[in-house]
């Protein structure tokens, strides 16, 4: 039956109108959470899209924790145990150029974020000015996060598609070194990498993988610099009809160099995490054109120096022309 599912190449390109990569904050890098939000790349990541403007939106919910035996540098403190709940909405206008660049398709975009973050600690071992506490603290915050400009180039040859990308982190989000819950990282970041997508409309099968690396500058308020990290996002799916596909998504995150700076009181504090879960995607009519909806849920495991739990993504991509 799968051999009769033939989503058109044009329909798949319409899905890819979202030209910007969506990124997002959590606490702060020294909180055991990276600038890079694992899972932001998914199906069709490297396939060329339809030229023009688009706007994408993502609702992201995450619930993660770490037991009291694990300590984290967080908001200028050293905290034992961590329970974090995040609800973010990302809005990402993007543009895909019609004129080839270096034989490929260029795309540009920028993502902004508004959300709420709640952080609880089991105990605070050291305060931001050297004071020592014995009880836990809680903090919640709403506001705007950092900005994430992106650029990419994509190439296609038959079923095979390749992509290179770069993304920056511009530290304009709400941040206060004396608070546990921060929506900005308070430092610049630069990420880049490449990806591959296998896409065969004849049998409705697709596989994508994107590998990237992040460099982080120092947080000037805490004298903390996160190390270089490597991250792999992947996805596989099968079309059940012209409009609907289902599959599995996942990621691997591994910090490859240690944290540094005067604020890195716990040493190199290298972190890692893996995640896997289901996804479903669906095209729908919008203003005479085809828009796209995707839902995925990811369970995290094998975490080290990082809280772990569940996260859910609800993505809607709308063509503007």
Q: What is the DSSP letter of 11?
A: H
Task: Please tell me the number of Cα atoms within 13 Å of 191 on its side-chain side.
Answer: 28
State the Cα angle at 49 between 250 and 19, rounded to 5°. Answer: 70
Q: What does the pLDDT read at residue 19?
A: 37
Q: Contact at 8 Å (CB) between 51 and 17?
A: no
Report the C-alpha gap between 223 and 260 in whole angstroms.
8
Instruction: Tell me the helix, strand and coil percentages in the chain, rounded to 5.
Output: 5, 60, 35
Q: What does the pLDDT read at residue 71?
A: 76
Other CB atoms within 10 A of residue 66 CB = 23
Residues 6 or more apart whose CB falls under 8 angstroms from that of 254 comprise 229, 230, 231, 272
Q: Contact at 8 Å (CB) between 41 and 314?
A: no
Handedness of CA 157, 161, 164, 170 (dihedral sign): positive
Q: What is the DSSP letter of 219?
A: B
Which option is the CATH number for 2-319: 3.40.1280.10, 2.40.160.40, 3.40.309.10, 3.30.565.10? Answer: 2.40.160.40
Q: Contact at 8 Å (CB) between 51 and 43?
A: no
Q: Contact at 8 Å (CB) between 248 and 43?
A: no
Residues 6 or more apart whose CB falls under 8 angstroms from that of 307 comprise 32, 33, 64, 65, 66, 72, 82, 83, 84
Report the C-alpha gap between 301 and 16 in whole angstroms.
30
Give the residue carrying structure tokens 């931001």: 128
Task: Please tell me the number of Cα atoms within 13 Å of 16 on its side-chain side.
Answer: 29
Report the C-alpha gap between 232 and 227 in whole angstroms.
17
Residues 6 or more apart whose CB falls under 8 angstroms from that of 114 comprise 88, 89, 142, 143, 144, 145
Q: What does the pLDDT read at residue 26?
A: 38
**What tens-digit pLDDT sequence spans the chain (321 residues)?**
344 455 555 555 555 544 333 444 333 345 556 789 999 999 999 998 888 888 999 999 999 988 776 777 776 677 777 888 999 999 999 999 999 999 999 999 999 999 999 988 887 666 555 555 556 778 899 999 999 999 999 999 999 999 999 999 999 999 998 888 889 999 999 999 999 999 998 899 999 999 999 999 999 998 999 999 999 999 999 999 989 999 999 999 999 999 999 888 888 889 999 999 999 999 888 877 788 899 999 999 999 988 899 999 999 988 886
Residues 6 or more apart whose CB falls under 8 angstroms from that of 73 comprise 30, 31, 32, 79, 222, 224, 263, 264, 265, 266, 269
């Amino acid at each position: 039956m799968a051999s009769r599912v033939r989503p058109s190449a044009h329909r798949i390109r319409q899905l890819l109108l979202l030209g910007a990569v969506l990124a997002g904050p959590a606490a702060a890098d020294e909180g055991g959470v990276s600038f890079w939000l694992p899972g932001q790349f998914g199906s069709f990541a490297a396939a060329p899209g339809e030229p023009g403007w688009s706007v994408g939106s993502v609702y992201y919910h995450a619930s993660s924790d770490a037991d009291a035996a694990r300590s984290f540098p967080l908001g200028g403190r050293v905290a034992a145990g961590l329970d974090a709940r995040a609800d973010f909405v990302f809005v990402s206008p993007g543009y895909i150029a019609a004129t080839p660049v270096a034989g490929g398709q260029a795309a540009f975009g920028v993502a902004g974020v508004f959300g709420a973050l709640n952080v609880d600690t089991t105990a605070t071992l050291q305060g931001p000015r050297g004071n020592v506490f014995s009880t836990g603290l809680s903090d919640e915050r709403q506001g705007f996060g950092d900005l994430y400009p992106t650029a990419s180039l994509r190439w296609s040859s038959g079923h095979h598609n390749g992509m290179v990308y770069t993304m920056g982190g511009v530290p304009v989000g709400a941040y206060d070194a004396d608070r546990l819950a921060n929506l900005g990282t308070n430092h610049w970041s630069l990420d880049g990498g490449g990806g591959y997508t296998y896409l065969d409309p004849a049998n409705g099968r697709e596989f994508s993988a994107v590998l990237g690396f992040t460099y982080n500058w120092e947080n000037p308020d805490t004298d903390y610099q996160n190390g270089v990290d490597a991250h792999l996002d992947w996805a596989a799916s099968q079309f059940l009809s012209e409009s609907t596909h289902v599959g599995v998504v996942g990621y691997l995150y591994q910090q490859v160099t240690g944290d540094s700076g005067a604020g890195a009181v716990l040493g190199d504090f290298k972190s890692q995490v893996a995640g896997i879960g289901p996804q479903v995607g669906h095209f729908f009519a919008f203003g005479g054109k085809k828009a796209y909806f995707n839902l995925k849920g990811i369970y995290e495991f094998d975490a080290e120096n990082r809280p772990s739990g569940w996260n859910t993504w609800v993505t809607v991509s709308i063509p503007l022309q």
